[in-house]
Chain A
Amino acid sequence: MTEEPIITVNNLDMGYGSFVLMRDLNFIVNRGDVFIIMGGSGCGKSTLLKILVGLKEPLRGQILYGDVNFWETEPSERERFMKRFGILYQSGALWSSMTLAENIALPIQQYMKLNADQIGEIVALKLALVGLAGFEDYYPSEISGGMKKRAGLARAMALDPDILFFDEPSAGLDPVSARLLDDLILELRDSLGTTIVIVTHELASIFAIGNNSVFLDVDSNTMTAKGDPKKLLAESKDPKVRRFLTRGAEGGEVETS
């Protein structure tokens, strides 16, 4: 596979106000990657995701999509870019006052001139892809947590995005559902060529689907490793990375102080 950078992050600092959470982030996501953003709790994984999708401005540095500087373009241009993203939020974030069908139809209505029948067909297809065929008229409050995640994924895929972002996809799912979601993510990557960026700390998923990653370390306030997580496990010398990837079994005593 030829490597074609789709997201390039240069010297990115992020934080809130004068508080810097992470500094000097540098990494590249290639087309077709399943890119994992990992790190302990509170290290800023979700914040990084927010910056990547345009919900929060970075303190410093650049994010290039292709060769467009995402945060320095006009807001309207940025919005055009955001159309190419699909985002699955941690809790699904389905609009609770609308049925699943309406949830998925809204982005389609927003950007495409289609009649109701055509939209209905697309909605049915997307729901079928995530295993929720026939659930069009359910409200988000009527389905289970795992189904909400899948419905959220169906909505994220509504516009056939180039890049899919996932915020903790397996949080709150039982192991089997989490595994099924992982398989679905890989399937999407392979069949649609979608680039996938995932924030997670679920080791099973990290090794099962990730082929590129960045590790954010909360103590040193920067990234301490990047690359294929399986290679990191085999080769990394950094004790913190090792400890994370082996669930604390290696990399020295678990700090208790």
Chain B
Amino acid sequence: MNEKGFVPSGLNFTSSPDGLLIVRLMGDWKIGNPLPLADEVEKKLAAGAQIKRVGFDTTELKAWDSGLLTFLIKVKEFCSQNKIPLEAEGLPEGAKGLLKLASAVAERKGARKEVKRESFFSMVGASAVEFYRSAIEMLNFIGEATITFTKFLFGKATFRRTDLFLLLQECGAQALPVVSLISILLGLILGFVGAIQLKIFGAQLFVADVVGVGMVRVMGAIMTGIIMSGRTGAAFAAQLGTMEVNEEIDALKTLGISPMEFLVLPRMIALVIMMPLLCVYADLLGILGGLIVGVGMLDLGFTEYMNRTREALTLTIFGVGLFHSAVFGVLVALSGCLRGMQCERSASAVGYAATSAVVTSIVSIIVATAIITFVCQVLGI
């Protein structure tokens, strides 16, 4: 017995003068036990052309499992390739039966998947077509969302008020802890980076400008946007995706209830209301983070810092920040819902929907920021 408790397996051959090759199997033929390779039989078959039949001797075979069967199947293949009859009589009853079962159903033609090598151009073409299709789908979705929103403004959309309140709570109050942590840290980081540079000029006081304007004008909105796309956008996609998998969305449609109104609209409203509020909150905490650096590291006074911040900030800056965050709210809600509604019917598709919702919303947040910043630049805001 070896360390695993197996009797070592073995293999040898005896050939009789009338052309019968006896394959003698010995010991435990179990998976996990080092087993002789079927190639040895092949070598034997290739070497001796006078072999007419192959038989087995299993008197010394102890235990066996699929390890023996895979060996036998290979031997059987060699034999049929070389047109040598295989005599299964010597094998244990069970192995004989299983061997017969494994070869009873011939491999179905075309069942095995072939790896198709597509040319570079056909792959590029296919993805271009796919891109076009998904762009159309996205535009459709945005169009439908707009119509639904207009319907809501005229008070004609159907959704449950309780759903809206739950969503408001979910993407408002419940997001506060993570938003707090990240915006304080972001304020600290902005403060530190600013402090090191400004100290060179002896202009420490202007840390308040860097942090205040940076946070309020754009960083607060971007950070809440990114947090919410990871937190809420992914959740929306997963919720709607699971509803799609579960046929719940079909059930809505067949009852004449528009999923756009019933599911997408409350999510959109909730985020559009909550994002600006979260953004204001993030701005405040960011300024607090800057204050910690200013007072703790640069020896500025509390009032001095706050006064400087107040001077630096204008209502326009604040408005631009709020506008950003309202836009991000729409983007995060739309990408989450879009990916959720596009979800296919499997568990992995739900995961994919959530991932792709986060990617879509972060990309669209950054692109939207670039556009808004550019437009503000041109308009001189």
Residues of A within 8 A of B (CB): 50, 53-55, 79-80, 82-83, 85, 87, 89-91, 93-97, 106-107, 110-111, 155, 256-257
Q: A53-B254, A79-B256, A93-B246 are in contact. List 9 more A-B contacts (CB 8 A).
A: A54-B254, A55-B253, A80-B256, A82-B254, A95-B251, A96-B243, A96-B246, A107-B257, A256-B104
Residue numbers in A under 8 Å from B105 (CB-CB): 256-257
A100 to B253, CA, bound (A): 18
Asked if B311 is at the interface of the complex by the 8 Å CB criterion, the answer is no
List which B148-205 residues lie within 8 A (CB) of chain A.
158, 163
**Which listed residue, A54, A80, A89, A110, touches B251 by the CB 8 Å rule?**
A89
Provide the residues of chain A in CB contact with B251, threshold 8 Å: 87, 89, 93-95, 155
Inter-chain residue pair count (beta carbon < 8 A):
53
B345 CB, min distance to chain A CBs, angstroms? 11
The 23 listed contacts between A and B (C-beta, < 8 Å) are A50-B250, A79-B256, A82-B254, A82-B255, A85-B254, A89-B247, A91-B247, A93-B248, A94-B248, A94-B251, A95-B243, A95-B248, A95-B251, A95-B252, A96-B243, A96-B246, A97-B163, A107-B257, A110-B256, A111-B256, A256-B104, A257-B105, A257-B108
- A93 cross-chain contacts in B, Cβ below 8 A: 246-248, 250-251
Q: Which residue of chain A has the shortest Cβ distance to B108 in the bound complex?
A: A257
Query: Which residues on the B side are within 8 Å of A90 (C-beta)?
Result: 247
Measured between C-beta atoms, what is the minimum distance from A253 to chain B in Å?
Answer: 13
> Which listed residue (B104, B243, B254) contacts A87, Cβ 8 A?
B254
Separation of A39 and B242 alpha carbons in the complex (Å): 28
- Asked if residues B243 and A107 are in contact (CB atoms below 8 Å), the reply is no
Interface bits B121-165 vs A (CB < 8 Å: 1, else 0): 000000000000000000000000000000000000010000100
**B381 located at the interface, meaning its Cβ lies under 8 Å from any Cβ of chain A in the complex:** no
Q: Which of A83, A91, A96 contacts B256 (CB 8 A)?
A: A83
Are A110 and B158 in contact, with the CB atoms below 8 A?
Answer: yes
Contact B247 A107 (CB under 8 A): no
Whether A96 pairs with B248 at a CB distance below 8 angstroms is: yes
Contact B246 A91 (CB under 8 A): yes
B47 at interface, CB cutoff 8 A: no
B106 touches A257 (CB 8 A): yes
Using CB atoms, name the residue of chain B closest to A152: B251
**A54 CA to B250 CA in the complex, in Å?**
10
Q: Are B243 and A55 in contact (CB under 8 A)?
A: no
CA distance A143 to B246 in the complex (A): 16
Report the separation of the CA atoms of residues A201 and B352 in the bound assembly, to the nearest whole angstrom: 33
Across the interface, name the chain B residue whose C-beta is closest to A81.
B256
Bound complex: CA A107 to CA B158 (Å): 11
B254 proximity list for chain A (CB < 8 A): 53-55, 82, 85, 87
Residue of B nearest to A256 (CB): B105
A82 to B251 CA separation, bound complex (whole angstroms):
11
List B contacts of A91 (CB < 8 A).
246-247
**B235 vs chain A, min Cβ distance (A):** 12
State whether B246 touches A82 (Cβ < 8 A). no
Residue in B closest to A158 when the chains form the complex, CB atoms: B255
Assembled-state Cα–Cα distance A110/B243 (Å) = 20
Contacts of A85 in B (CB 8 A): 254
Chain B residue at minimal CB-CB distance from A97:
B163
Interface centre among B104, B105, B256 (most CB of A within 10 A): B256
Contacts of B248 in A (CB 8 A): 93-96
A150 and B247 CA atoms in complex are apart in Å by 16
Those 8 A-B pairs whose CB atoms lie nearest each other, nearest first: A93-B247, A89-B247, A93-B251, A79-B256, A107-B255, A256-B105, A93-B248, A87-B254
